[in-house]
């Protein structure tokens, strides 16, 4: 029973690591700027900079 729980725990950790890596890679590789998405198309450069400072980006 302990061996079974150990295997399941290791499998769960590997799945969690894999999902985290895939999520990070997808977010890192997206060409869109998150600040531009938040601010919208008509945002001025000053507005974009303010949002970047507020979010710490």
pLDDT band at residue 43 under the 50/70/90 scheme: confident
Give pLDDT, residue 39. 83
Which residues, including other chains, have CB under 8 Å from residue 48's CB and lie 6 or more apart? 35, 36, 39
Give pLDDT, residue 15. 98
Give pLDDT, residue 1. 92
Rounded CA-CA distance 49/56 in Å is 10
For residue 28, what are the CA distances in angstroms to 4, 22, 24?
A: 36, 10, 6
Give pLDDT, residue 35. 82
Quote the number of domains for the chain.
Answer: 1
Rounded CA-CA distance 52/23 in Å is 22
Give the pLDDT confidence of 5-38 residue by residue, as tens digits. 999 999 999 999 999 999 999 888 877 777 887 8
What is the span of the domain harbouring residue 47? 2-55
For the entire predicted model, the pTM comes to: 0.54
- Tokens at residue 16, please? 């969690």
């Amino acid at each position: 029973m302990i061996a079974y729980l150990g295997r399941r725990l290791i499998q769960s950790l590997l799945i969690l690591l894999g999902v985290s890596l895939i999520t990070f890679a997808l977010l890192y590789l997206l060409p869109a700027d998150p600040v531009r998405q938040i601010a919208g198309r008509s945002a001025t450069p000053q507005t974009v900079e303010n949002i970047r400072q507020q979010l710490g980006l």
